[in-house]
Amino acid sequence: MSVLKINGQSYTIDADENMPLLWAIRDIVGLTGTKYGCGVAQCGACVVHLDGEAVRSCVTKVSRAQGKQITTIEGLSKNNDHPVQQAWQEIDVPQCGYCHSGQIMSAAVLLRENPNPSDQDIDNAMAGNICRCGTYPRIRNAIKIAAEIQRKATKS
Amino acid sequence: MKNKEINKNVILKKITVSLTVVLLMGALTAFSYNTKLTSANNYIRVPDATQKKKDSVASVKAFAKVYSVLMSPRCMNCHPKGDVPLQGEDSHLHTMQPKRGKDGKGLYAMKCANCHQPENSPGLHAPPGNPNWHLPPSDMKMVFEGRTAHQLAKQLIDPKQNGHKDMKKLIEHADDGLVLAGWKPAEGYALPPISHAEFKKAWITWLENGAYAPKP
Amino acid sequence: MPSITNTSKRNFLKIAGLGGTALYLGLFSSNSSASVINASEIEGDPQSVELNAWVIIDTSGKVTFVDHRAEMGQGSYHSVPQILAEELEVGLNDINVVFGQGNRKYGNQITGGSSTIRSNYKNFLKLTASAREMLIAAAAAKWAVPHQDCYAELGHVIHRPTGKRAHYGELVVAASKMEVPKDVKLKKRADYKLIGKPIRRIDTKLKTNGSVIFGLDKKLPGMMYAAVERNPRLRGKVKSFDATNALKVPGVTKVFKIKMLVFKTYREGVAVIANSTYAAFQGKKALKVEWDDSGFEHINTADIFKRQEENVKTKEGLSYKKQGDPDKAIATAARKLDVVYQTPYQSHYAMEPLNCTAHYQGDKIEVWGPIQAPDWVQDALSGEFGMPREKILVNMTFLGGGFGRKAFMDYPHEAAVISKELNGPVQVVWSREDDATQGPYRPGITYRCEGAINNGKIEALKFRMSGQNNGHWMGGKKDEANDSTSEGFLAPYFDNIKNISFADVPFEIPIPSMWWRSVYASTNGFAFESFLDELSVEAGKDPLALRREYLDERCHKLIDKLEEVSGWKKRKKNEGYGVAITECFSSTVGHIVKVSRRDGGGVKIDKVWAVMDCGWYVNPDIIRAQVEGSIVMGLGAAAFHEVTFKDGMTEQKNFYSYPMPRINDIPPIEVYVMDNAEDAGGVGEPGLPPLAPALTNAIFDLTGKRIRTLPFSLEAV
C-alpha cells in the first residue's frame, strides 16, 4: 500500500511501487488531467508538481512520490484561475489541448521562480514540452501575460 | 537525411593521448610541494599526502587511461563546454536543451531531476538516473568537452577549477556516486572504455605520481 | 480526401416541432415522410430521433448543438456555435455543445478536407435565421402584434414599442407550428455581431484545468486495460506466442491473439489484458511472439525512393491533366529545367496516442474514442461483426490531435475485437511506440518537374509524381491517376500557361498510407513551389513578380499583402527571403520565410509571414492559430523528422528519433487573414504546404544552395 498526497488529499493505493506516478494518478486515483504522451520523459504531457518541481510523472515511480506533495493540473488552482490559466484563456492558447496540462504545469514553475521571464528564460523552461498543434507562439505570449497578471496580483 | 546528431566527439576520441614517453622525459620539471600552481607551466603536480616517490612517466601513462574515461560520453556528456549537457554515444547537444543553471541542477521546469530519477529508468531511451544527477555548477564548470589531455590534467588538479579539491578529495572522488554512475549506464548506453577498478587505479597512479600532465 | 458531398443536395433543411417539447433544426433526410414527427418518437434522448437535428431549442430555452464532427484542435466545436448564435440571436455561451454519435442521419461525418464550416455554413445560417423568424412569428401571434414590430436578441423576442419580452423557451411550441419561411433574409456581413470576430473559444477553459475528456480519459465501470503487441511489419501475422512471463506480471489477467482491420486487410497481434495501463504495458514487454511475415515485402527506404526515381525518369505514367503539348514545347524551348524533388514518409504523432474504449454487449457494440470518422467506424464494425449499423454506437470524445490518422478504423475495430473476447468493457492503449511504428503514414513521393522558358515566359510545365496512392487503400481504381496529382497547384496557372501536364506514375508497396494534414498538397506544394522558384531564377525574374504574371486578381491581392507585411522589396543583404503560395481545400495561403546565417554554421529562420485567403470566415483568431500550427507542423516535416523503413519495419519509435520542433525552434510568426466576399474555404490544413518550399526558397536566396530533398537540417545547410 502506498500513500499519495495529491492536491492536498491523501490517497491510499494498492499499486506496484515501480508503477509510474502517471498511471497511478490516472488509472487508480482517477484524475485524468495528467496526460500520457511518450512514456520516456521526452514530451512533457505528464508534468505534475512534486514538492513544487515539474517532474515527468511517466518516469517518476510511485516510490519516489510517497510522502511528497503532488499537485496535478486539477489542483493548480481552485477556480481555473492561476495566472497561467488566466493567460492561457485570455489568448486561447490550446488547440487540441492535450499537451496543455503539462505546458501549464511547467509554466507555473517558471513563473514562481522567475516572475519576469525573458524569451530565453521561456525557452529554458518550456523546451521540454512538445505541442504537435504548434501553439508555441501563443505559449510564449501567454507566459508574458501571466507574468503581468501575477505582478498585478502581488501588487494589489 | 538526418544529421542533427553531429559527431563532434570523434576527433577528440582519436587523440586519446598517444604520448611519446621518451620525449616527455626531457621536458619534465618537478615542483616543490607548495608551489603555487600556474597555468604557464606545462607539467604540474599537486601536493600529496602519501609522499610516494614521483614517477612522471607512470603518471602520464596513467593519465592516458584516465583521459580515455573522462572523454567517454558517460563522463563528458555532463561536462560540456556550453551550458547544455550532451547526450548519447555521439555526444550531441541534449534534446530539448536543458540548461545548467546556477547550481548545475537545471532551470525552472527543466531541472535534471524532473526527468532523471534516483535510478536509471527502465527501457531503451529512457532517462538514465542517479540521486545526485547534475552538471557542475556555473561558477565551477569543470569542462571536459574539447579539452586536450594536457589541458584537462592541469584543470583537474587546479583547486580553482576542480571544485576546490585537494589531493585527498581528488582521490576520494574516484568513488563519488556520480563518477560510479558512469559504470551503471542506462539500457542501450556503452560503458566507459575501461572498468571502474582500472580507472580508479590509473587515477590514483596519476595523482600519486605527481599528477603530471601530458605534453600539449 | 474523399469528395465531401454537399448534403443539402440529397436532403433538405427543415425545422420541426416535435410534439411540443422542442424545436429541432436540421437536415431531414429526403426519404423521411413528415416534417413533424410524432411525439412518441422523441421520448428520451433526442438523438434517438431519426432526423439529423443539429440544433435543438427546448421548452426551457436551452439551445443544444449536436456536433456531428470531431474536435481535434481545429475549433469547429467553437466555430459552428459562433455561426449558429449569430442568426439565432442567442448568446454564444448559451449554446450547449454535445458530440453526435456516428449516424448516417448527419450526412458525411468524416472530419477531413477542412470541410466542417465550408460545407455546412450556408445551411447553418439559413436554418438558424428561419428558426429565429418562426420564434418571432410565434411571439407576434401570442401578443397579437405585427411581426415587424418584434425582434430577437439574446434568446428573447422583444416587442419594440412596448419592450415586452418572451423567452425562446416559452415560444418553441408555438414556433414549431409556424410556417417555415420560404426565403429567409440573411444578415449582411457588415451586420454580423459574432461572425468574423476573434471571440474566445468556448472550449478553452476545459483545456486549462484538466477537465476536458479525451479518448484516454474515458473510464467505464469494470473497465480493463489492454496493450497489444502488433506485428512490426505492419500487416503480418502471429506464428506463435509465449505468454508465460506476461501472465506473471501482477495485474495481468489474460493474453490472447487478435486480428484487426488494416483498411480492407488484416494485421495480427497479441493482446495483454490487465487492471491498469502500466500492468498491460509491462505484460506486453514480457511477451515472446514469433511473427509470420510471409508475403510482406521487407522494404528499405532507400529502395523506395530509388524505385520512384526510376519511375519518373523512365515512365510517362497515368495522365491526370493535360493542356497543350508540354513535350513539344519543352523539346524546342530556349531554356529548360528538369529536376527531381523528394519528400519523405511522415507520421502523424498526435500528442494523444491512439486508443479506444469498447464494450461489446452481445447484441450491440458501443465504442468511445478520439475518432475522426464515427460513421465510418460504424460501417466497419457493422461489416466485421455482422450487426446492423444502429447496433453500433460510436461516441466521439475530444481528440488530442488527429491530423488524418484518427479517421482510420484499425484501433476502434481492435478494441471491439478485444472487448468481445473479454466479454466486458476495455480500453486499448497504444504506447507512443505502437502509435509511431504501425502506420499508416503520409506516403513518401518523388516528383520530376520539367519546364520550358522562352523570352522570360513559362512556356510549359510537366509534372510527374510517383508515390503511394492513399485512395488505393480505400478501394480506389488502380488504372486511374491519383485524384490529388495537382492538389496544391493554383488554378489560375491553368488559364495562363499554355502547356501543362500532370501525371502519376503508379508506385505500390504494402506499407499502409493515409492522409496527413493537407494530404498531397503538403508534398506536391514542395515540388511545385520550389520549381516555380527555380524557373524564376532561370527566367531572371523576382519570384513574386513571376507568379503575378500568371495569377488572377484574387491572388494578386494576397501577393500584395505578402509584400506589404514582409518588406519583400526592402530586403537587405545577408537576408534570404523565400515565398510559396499553394491552394488546397478551397483556400489559398502564401508564406514568406526570412532566413539568415546562424552563428556556428547553417541557417536560422528569422521570421515567417503568412497570408490566408479562405473567403468567408468565422473566427479570425482561430484561423491565425491554425496557420501558426500548420507552420510549426510544416517546419517539423521539412527540417526535423521523417519516417524510414528498414527491412519492412519503421525505424523511428518515439520523439527521441522523430524529433519535434520545440518552443526554442520557432521563429516569430505573423498571420494575416484576407477579407473578401468569396465563398468559405478550409482552415485546418491549407496553411501547411507553403512552409517547406518558402523555407528552401529562402535558403536558396541566401546561399545559392537548392534543397530538393526533405527533410534537411538547418544546421547543416
Whether C309 is covered by a domain: the verdict is no
Task: Kindly report whether the global pTM for this prediction surpasses the value 0.90.
Answer: yes
Looking at the structure, tell me whether residues C611 and C532 fall in a common domain: yes
Residue B2 at interface with chain C, using a CB cutoff of 8 Å: yes
CB-based contact A17:A3 (threshold 8 Å): no
Beta pairing partners, C543: none
Residue of C640, C656, C659 with shortest CB distance to B125:
C656
Distance from CA of A131 to the nearest CA of B (A): 13
Q: Would you state the pLDDT for residue C669?
A: 98
Q: Would you state the pLDDT for residue C84?
A: 94
pLDDT-derived band of residue C119, with 50, 70 and 90 as boundaries? confident
Helix C521-539 to helix C543-550 angle (10° resolution) is 110
Whether C436 is covered by a domain: the verdict is no
- Residue C650: count of CB within 10 angstroms of its CB: 24
Q: Would you state the pLDDT for residue C294?
A: 82
Q: Would you state the pLDDT for residue C709?
A: 98
CB-based contact C453:C334 (threshold 8 Å): yes
Residue C584 C-alpha from the chain's centroid: 12
Which CATH number applies to A83-155?
A: 1.10.150.120
Residue A37 at interface with chain C, using a CB cutoff of 8 Å: yes
Least confident of C284-298, C522-536, C542-556: C284-298
Sequential pLDDT tens for chain B (216 residues): 444 433 433 333 333 333 323 333 333 333 333 333 333 344 444 555 455 668 899 999 999 999 999 999 999 999 999 999 999 999 999 999 999 999 999 999 999 999 999 999 999 999 999 999 999 999 999 999 999 999 999 999 999 999 999 999 999 999 999 999 999 999 999 999 999 999 999 999 999 999 999 999
- Under an 8 A CB cutoff, do A128 and B123 touch? no
Question: Distance (Å, rounded) from C-alpha C48 to C-alpha C493?
Answer: 49
- Which of C133, C166, C201 terminates a domain? The answer is C201
pLDDT for C127 beyond 90: no
pLDDT for C30 beyond 90: no
Distance from CA of B13 to the nearest CA of A (A): 28
pLDDT, tens only, C449-477: 999 999 999 999 999 999 999 999 988 99
Looking at the structure, tell me whether residues C417 and C562 fall in a common domain: no
Question: Distance (Å, rounded) from C-alpha C208 to C-alpha A122?
Answer: 19
Sequential pLDDT tens for chain A (156 residues): 899 999 999 999 999 999 999 999 999 999 999 999 999 999 999 999 999 999 999 999 999 999 999 999 999 999 999 999 999 999 999 999 999 999 999 999 999 999 999 999 999 999 999 999 999 999 999 999 999 999 999 887
Question: Distance (Å, rounded) from C-alpha C376 to C-alpha C128?
Answer: 28
Which residue has cell 544552395? C705
**Where are any strands of DSSP class E within chain B?**
86-87, 92-93, 106-107, 110-111
- Which of C371, C395, C429 terminates a domain? The answer is C429
Q: Would you state the pLDDT for residue C394?
A: 97
Q: Would you state the pLDDT for residue C178?
A: 85
Report residue C399 as a C-alpha cell: 481528440
Whether B5 is covered by a domain: the verdict is no
Domain positions in chain A are 2-72, 83-155
A16 CB neighbours in chain C (<8 A) are 250-251, 278-279
Residue A21 at interface with chain C, using a CB cutoff of 8 Å: no
Which residue has cell 454537399? C6
**Greater model confidence, C41 or C584:** C584
- Residue C255: count of CB within 10 angstroms of its CB: 22
Q: Would you state the pLDDT for residue B8?
A: 37
Query: Number of A:B CB contacts under 8 A?
Result: 76
Looking at the structure, tell me whether residues C406 and C555 fall in a common domain: no
Per-residue pLDDT averaged across C14-42, rounded? Answer: 51
Cβ neighbours of residue C710 closer than 8 Å, sequence gap 6 or more: B1, C342, C343, C344, C526, C637, C638, C639, C642, C692
- Under an 8 A CB cutoff, do A38 and C208 touch? no
What is the number of structural domains in chain B?
Answer: 1
Looking at the structure, tell me whether residues C337 and C454 fall in a common domain: yes
What is the number of structural domains in chain C?
Answer: 3
Report residue C9 as a C-alpha cell: 443536395
Whether C370 is covered by a domain: the verdict is yes
Question: Distance (Å, rounded) from C-alpha C438 to C-alpha C73?
Answer: 23
pLDDT-derived band of residue C166, with 50, 70 and 90 as boundaries? very high
C219 CB neighbours in chain A (<8 A) are 30, 32
Distance from CA of A12 to the nearest CA of C (A): 16
pLDDT-derived band of residue C182, with 50, 70 and 90 as boundaries? confident
Looking at the structure, tell me whether residues C265 and C371 fall in a common domain: yes
pLDDT for C12 beyond 60: no
CATH architecture of A2-72: Roll (3.10)
Q: What is the ipTM of this complex?
A: 0.98
Cβ neighbours of residue B161 closer than 8 Å, sequence gap 6 or more: B140, B142, B155
pLDDT-derived band of residue C2, with 50, 70 and 90 as boundaries? very low
CB-based contact B196:B5 (threshold 8 Å): no
Residue A121 at interface with chain C, using a CB cutoff of 8 Å: no
Q: Dump the DSSP string for chain A.
A: -EEEEETTEEEEE---TTSBHHHIIIIII---SS--S-SSSSS-TTEEEETTEEEETTTSBHHHHTTSEEE-GGGS-SSS-SHHHHHHHHTT--SS-TTHHHHHHHHHHHHHH-SS--HHHHHHHHTT---TT--HHHHHHHHHHHHHHHHHHHH-
Closest chain C CA to residue B4: C713
Question: Distance (Å, rounded) from C-alpha B73 to C-alpha B95?
Answer: 15
B1 CB neighbours in chain C (<8 A) are 344, 642, 644, 709-712
Whether C191 is covered by a domain: the verdict is yes
Looking at the structure, tell me whether residues C20 and C116 fall in a common domain: yes
Per-residue pLDDT averaged across C138-142, rounded? Answer: 97
Looking at the structure, tell me whether residues C579 and C694 fall in a common domain: yes
pLDDT for C22 beyond 90: no
Mean pLDDT score across all residues of chain C: 92
- Under an 8 A CB cutoff, do A47 and B108 touch? no
Residue of A16, A28, A96 with shortest CB distance to C400:
A96
Q: Would you state the pLDDT for residue C300?
A: 95
Residues 105-134 of B with CB under 8 A from C: 125
pLDDT, tens only, C367-408: 999 999 999 999 999 999 999 999 999 999 999 999 999 999
Backbone angles phi, psi at B182, to 5 degrees: -55, -30
pLDDT for C539 beyond 80: yes
Best CA proximity match to A141, nearest among C274, C702, C666? C666
Looking at the structure, tell me whether residues C75 and C178 fall in a common domain: yes
Q: Would you state the pLDDT for residue C17?
A: 63
Element (H, E) at C612: strand C603-613
Distance from CA of C410 to the nearest CA of A (A): 20
Looking at the structure, tell me whether residues C385 and C281 fall in a common domain: yes
Q: Would you state the pLDDT for residue A79?
A: 98
pLDDT-derived band of residue C53, with 50, 70 and 90 as boundaries? low
Best CA proximity match to B91, nearest among B190, B17, B177? B190
Q: What percent of chain C has pLDDT over 90?
A: 82
Whether B122 is covered by a domain: the verdict is no
Looking at the structure, tell me whether residues C5 and C101 fall in a common domain: yes
Give me the amino acid identity at C18. L
- Under an 8 A CB cutoff, do C208 and A43 touch? no
pLDDT, tens only, C659-690: 999 999 999 999 999 999 999 999 999 999 99
Question: Distance (Å, rounded) from C-alpha C300 to C-alpha C297?
Answer: 9
- Establish whether the linkage from the previous residue to C440 is cis, with ω within 30° of 0: yes
Q: Would you state the pLDDT for residue C593?
A: 98
Residue A41 at interface with chain C, using a CB cutoff of 8 Å: no
What CATH code is carried by the domain that includes residue C420?
Answer: 3.30.365.10
Structural domain range at position B75 = 10-91+139-208
Structural domain range at position C157 = 1-201
B113 CB neighbours in chain A (<8 A) are 53, 55
Whether C302 is covered by a domain: the verdict is no
Q: Would you state the pLDDT for residue C37?
A: 33
Closest chain B CA to residue C640: B2
Looking at the structure, tell me whether residues C372 and C393 fall in a common domain: yes
Whether C382 is covered by a domain: the verdict is yes
Backbone angles phi, psi at C426, to 5 degrees: -150, 145
Least confident of B181-195, C33-47, C638-652, C654-668: C33-47
Give me the amino acid identity at B192. P
Q: Would you state the pLDDT for residue C105?
A: 75
- Which of C170, C201, C232 terminates a domain? The answer is C201
- Establish whether the linkage from the previous residue to C221 is cis, with ω within 30° of 0: no
Residue B195 at interface with chain A, using a CB cutoff of 8 Å: no
Residue of B4, B95, B97 with shortest CB distance to C713:
B4
